[in-house]
Amino acid sequence: MLAYLLSRAAQFVVALVVASVVVFLLMSFLPGNAAQVALGTNATPEAVAALEAQYGLDEPPLIRYLQWVAGMLGGDFGTSYVTGAPITPVIIASVQVTAILVVCSIVVAVLIAVPLGTFAALEQRNWIGVTISALSQVGIAVPNFLAAIILVMIFSLQLGWFPSQGWMASIEGVGGFLARLVLPVVSLALVQAAILTRYVRSAVLDVMREDYIRTARAKGLTRTRALFVHGLRNAAIPVITVAGVQLATLLVGAVIIEQVFVIPGVGSELVRAVANRDLVTVQGIVMVLVMLVLIINFIVDLLYPIVDPRIRSAA
């Protein structure tokens, strides 16, 4: 088991290093001069050279990469060339907002998908199971932003139950925080729940065809009890994999939803930085998103031996 953990940790570190190199190279070799963009088109060559020297842009790429990595290890993602303010507080504040949105969305999606997918598998030959499968297929085809627009039109503009945009921290008022959280979370969760429902249904159907389920049925257990006692843990392996992928996908999907609901998350900050050509902020935000995706994959790898004893024994 220790070897398994060390192997996954080593893969995580290597992937993180490779990702940091790729992100740095992509940002460094984009056309245009960051100092020139920050100062404007009317800036003198002397002013541009002074700004490059101030932020170390005149250093060799290897030196700049090592300085950037050293800063990140110390919690410093650098200073914006455009605003002159540190990037770290901006990233921390926006990540907190996006994390709340994404975590709540995946929890809601799992709470919807697991019972619906299981029921659709148990009742696959009945009209209820067929209806759930059909609705999940329709849900997969609906983009997140379209679901968000429909929800805003119904529950905000027509019924007036929830605000259509804006954000409020929980410390400013729990009621206002929850009211502004509902529509964005539902917009993200519905589509993800539809996708996850299909995978849960498929995983449960595969488990129900296994020999140990037939043996449990032969010993007198009902189909439902045999599934819950002996099958759900084995069905959880592919579901955990898909849920991890969806959680990473939600980080990207949240970019659009944050724009629809005017939420100050990572997506909004990334769009603002791109619009202002604030490359160092873009570089920091992209690296944070990459780290979050790698952390999610690492956690999923650690869950496998916990859920499946066979993987734990092999490890």
Say which residues have a Cβ less than 8 Å from residue 173's Cβ, sequence separation at least 6: none
> pLDDT digit string (tens) for 238-247?
777 777 777 7
Length of the chain: 315
Euclidean distance between the first and final Cα of the chain, in Å? 5
d(CA 278, CA 237): 41
Band of pLDDT at residue 34, cut at 50, 70 and 90:
low
Which two three-digit tokens encode residue 215?
């043996």
CA quadruple 199, 228, 241, 237: dihedral positive or negative?
negative
CB 139 within 8 A of CB 147: no
Please state, in angstroms and rounded to a whole number, the distance separating the CA atoms of residues 150 and 142.
Answer: 11
Sequence spans of domains, the chain: 88-277
Q: What is the pLDDT of residue 229?
A: 64
pTM of this structure: 0.74
For residue 142, what are its two tokens? 């609906």
pLDDT single digits (tens) 193-242: 888 887 878 777 777 766 666 676 676 666 667 666 666 666 677 777 77
Given this model, what pLDDT does residue 35 score? Answer: 57
Angle subtended by helix axes 2-28 and 61-73, to nearest 10: 130
Question: What is the model's pLDDT at position 1?
Answer: 65
Residue 312 in this model has a pLDDT that exceeds 60 = no
What's the distance, CA 82 to chain centroid? 28
Tens of pLDDT along 52-109? 666 666 667 787 788 778 878 877 777 777 777 788 888 888 888 888 888 888 888 8
CA–CA separation, 159 vs 154, rounded Å?
A: 6
What confidence category does residue 32 fall into, taking pLDDT thresholds of 50, 70 and 90? low
Q: Which CATH class is domain 88-277?
A: mainly alpha
What's the mean pLDDT when you consider all of the chain?
75
Confidence of residue 48 (pLDDT cuts 50, 70, 90): low
Percentage of residues in the chain having pLDDT higher than 70: 74
Dist CA 315 CA 305 (whole Å): 8
Mean pLDDT on 299-313: 67
Give how far the C-alpha of residue 33 lies from the chain's centroid of Cα atoms, to the nearest Å.
Answer: 32
What is residue 255's predicted lDDT score, i.e. its pLDDT? 76
Among 274, 301, 294, 295, CA closest to 285 = 274
